[in-house]
């Protein structure tokens, strides 16, 4: 669902298919920025499309790496940049339950600027978001 847009705040798109994690992320960040939430890649693409039609943009992306098929956080990032090249330089943060070193390397190689592991810690998440946004 697309909330009404507050043009004075940074827009953050959270793509997370787990309802509990999505709610926690929303609660932790909603005082810092305008939150847009999607459960899968298709919904995320629709949100970005709708914002672009309104001359609005996402300032920071937070993607779960494991999304419902056919998407992953990595393939969704690639698709967004292919459709809207303006997002090539925007910050993308990955969050995932996978903590294996090769997973982290793959995510960083895919262009994510940060990699957060679940269970997420509020202070680390907030610090990471503040690092990339003017709040």
> What digits encode the pLDDT tens for the residues 37-90?
999 999 999 999 999 999 999 999 999 999 999 999 999 999 999 999 999 999
When divided into structural domains, the chain yields a total of: 1
Instruction: Please give the Cα distance from 112 to 94 (Å, whole number).
Output: 6
The pair of three-digit structure tokens given for residue 3, joined into one six-digit string: 């909330």
Is 74 within the bounds of a domain? Answer: yes
Instruction: State the Cα–Cα distance between residues 53 and 67, nearest whole angstrom.
Output: 25
Q: Kind and range of the H or E element at 61?
A: strand 60-64
Residue 5 belongs to some domain of the structure: no
Contact yes or no for 28/122 (Cβ under 8 A): yes
Q: What is the pTM of this model?
A: 0.90
66 in a structural domain: yes
Residue 1 domain flag: no
CATH classification at residue 55: 3.40.50.2300
Residue 88 falls inside a structural domain = yes
Task: Give the domain range for residue 86.
Answer: 11-132
- Whether residue 3 lies inside any domain: the answer is no
Asked if residue 45 is part of any domain, the answer here is: yes
Please report which residue ranges of the chain form alpha helices under DSSP H.
19-29, 41-53, 73-83, 101-109, 122-132
pLDDT in tens, 76-92: 999 999 999 999 999 99
């Amino acid at each position: 669902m697309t909330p009404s847009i507050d043009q004075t705040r940074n827009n953050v798109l959270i793509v997370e298919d787990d309802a509990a994690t999505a709610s926690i992320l929303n609660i932790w960040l909603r005082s810092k920025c305008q939150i847009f939430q999607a459960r899968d890649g298709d919904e995320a693409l629709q949100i970005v499309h709708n914002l672009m039609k309104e001359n609005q943009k996402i300032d920071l992306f937070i993607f779960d790496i494991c999304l419902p098929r056919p998407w992953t956080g990595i393939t969704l990032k690639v698709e967004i940049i292919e459709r809207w090249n303006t997002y090539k330089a925007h910050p993308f943060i990955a969050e995932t339950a996978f903590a294996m070193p090769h997973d982290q390397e793959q995510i960083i190689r895919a262009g994510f600027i940060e990699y957060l592991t679940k269970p997420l810690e509020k202070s680390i998440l907030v610090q990471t978001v503040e690092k990339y946004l003017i709040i």
